[in-house]
């Protein structure tokens, strides 16, 4: 049985004091509620990683800390970059790879994303590999083909052992930050397709155990319906993760 994972991607939001206040609020809510059946992770700006890890550790919280990106190289003269090994040493346990904003705004192609997968796995981080289609892909009924291509160019270049350590996040690009959401049926169809592709490439065991998250404007109002789908194993939450009460409502959904 795959354990649900609710992960909050804070993107480039919150100053330091706001971030730590949000973490403190989450810890208090966690103590009042039973989150044992669900894994919870937050992805604050990388600058706050060590502070978040130490605060959560001191509070004996089960909330994991991830980062939103890592470099495609292990070290060297790459001003401004943070390697997977550095992020792991700072206490991060997970990393987002290939978020649609990284693909669109920073021109990250499949070769770059594949290297980031390798770097994060070698460092002992759990990659959350994002994939998803644009609105025009869905309108032209190319959405399954688009996602399959993204998997072929990244995840399926890994060995079966390495791929089994990856989490997939399906994010319909047309539903990110727009208020639009894929219907539960649309989400289930794509998640089932992704699992089928993993099964065809590797085997039944890898497909059955791989967690596939939904990452397109999940919020308290639609979380129950989305999370009740058999192949939806959790959510990658954007805006709703910046409000402790909204995020906790999704967790308990």
- 161-179 tens-digit pLDDT: 999 999 999 999 988 777 7
Q: What is the pLDDT of residue 101?
A: 95
pLDDT at 148: 98
Q: Of 37, 39, 36, 88, which Cα lies nearest the Cα of 66?
A: 88
- In this structure, are residues 215 and 171 in contact, taking their beta carbons and an 8 Å threshold? yes
Instruction: Decide the pairing of beta strands 126-131 and 94-97.
Output: parallel
pLDDT band at 34 (very low <50, low <70, confident <90, very high): confident
Burial class, 51, CB count within 10 angstroms (exposed 0-12 / middle 13-18 / buried 19+): middle
Q: What is the pLDDT of residues 106-115, one digit of tens each?
A: 999 999 999 9
With 80 as the cut, is the pLDDT of residue 204 above it? yes
CA torsion angle for 151, 156, 158, 164 (degrees, to 10)?
A: 80
Residues annotated catalytic, as ranges: 99, 171
Taking 90 as the threshold, does the pLDDT of residue 56 lie above it? yes
- Predicted confidence (pLDDT) per residue in 92-125, tens digit: 999 999 999 999 999 999 999 999 999 999 999 9
| Interval 22-33: pLDDT, tens | 999 999 999 999
Structure tokens belonging to residue 12:
């480039």
Question: What span, in angstroms and rounded, lies between the C-alpha atoms of 179 and 77?
Answer: 40
Quickly count: other Cβ atoms within 10 Å of residue 100's Cβ.
21
pLDDT of residue 176: 77
Alpha-carbon span 69 to 125, nearest angstrom = 11
Give the confidence band of 181 by pLDDT, cuts at 50, 70, 90.
confident
Phi, psi of 81 (to 5 degrees): -90, 155
226-245 tens-digit pLDDT: 999 999 999 999 999 999 99
* Structure confidence at residue 135 (pLDDT): 87
Q: What's the rounded Cα separation, in Å, for the pair 242 and 239?
A: 6
Q: What is the pLDDT of residue 182?
A: 86
Number of C-beta neighbours around residue 204 at 10 A: 10
What per-residue confidence (pLDDT) applies to 94?
A: 98
CB-CB contact of 73 with 37 (8 Å):
no
Cα separations in angstroms, 244 against 23, 50, 104, 116, 239? 8, 20, 29, 30, 11
Mean pLDDT of 190-218: 97
Distance CA 18, CA 79 (A): 28
Please, are residues 169 and 130 in contact by the beta-carbon 8 Å criterion?
yes
Q: pLDDT value at position 174?
A: 87
Q: How many CB atoms lie within 10 A of CB 153?
A: 16
pLDDT score, position 217: 86
DSSP structure string for 120-172: HHHHT-EEEEEE---HHHHHTT-HHHHHHHHHHTTGGGS-HHHHTT-EEEE--
Q: Identify the residue whose tokens are 């999940």.
A: 218
Q: Mean pLDDT, the chain, as a whole number? A: 96
Mean pLDDT score, 62-83: 98
* pLDDT over 80 at 62, yes or no: yes
């Amino acid at each position: 049985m795959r354990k649900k994972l609710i992960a909050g991607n804070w993107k480039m939001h919150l100053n330091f004091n706001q971030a730590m206040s949000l973490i403190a609020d989450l810890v208090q809510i966690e103590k009042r509620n039973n989150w044992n059946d669900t894994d919870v992770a937050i992805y604050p700006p990388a600058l706050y990683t060590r502070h978040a890890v130490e605060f959560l550790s001191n509070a004996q919280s089960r909330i994991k800390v991830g980062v939103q990106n890592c470099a495609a190289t292990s070290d060297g003269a790459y001003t401004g970059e943070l390697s997977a090994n550095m992020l792991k040493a700072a206490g991060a346990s997970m990393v987002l790879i290939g978020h649609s904003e990284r693909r669109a705004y920073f021109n990250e192609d499949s070769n770059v994303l594949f290297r980031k997968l390798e770097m994060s796995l070698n460092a002992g981080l759990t990659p959350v590999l994002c994939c998803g289609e644009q609105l025009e892909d869905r309108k032209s009924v190319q959405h399954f083909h688009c996602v399959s291509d993204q998997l072929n160019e990244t995840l399926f270049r890994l060995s079966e052992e390495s791929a089994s350590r990856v989490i997939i996040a399906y994010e319909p690009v047309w539903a990110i930050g727009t208020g639009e959401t894929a219907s539960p049926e649309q989400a289930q169809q794509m998640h089932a397709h992704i699992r089928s592709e993993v099964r065809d490439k590797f085997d039944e065991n890898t497909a059955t155990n791989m967690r596939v998250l939904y990452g397109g404007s999940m919020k308290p109002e639609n979380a129950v319906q989305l999370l009740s789908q058999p192949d939806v194993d959790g959510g990658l939450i954007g805006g709703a993760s910046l409000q402790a009460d909204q995020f906790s409502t999704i967790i308990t959904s």
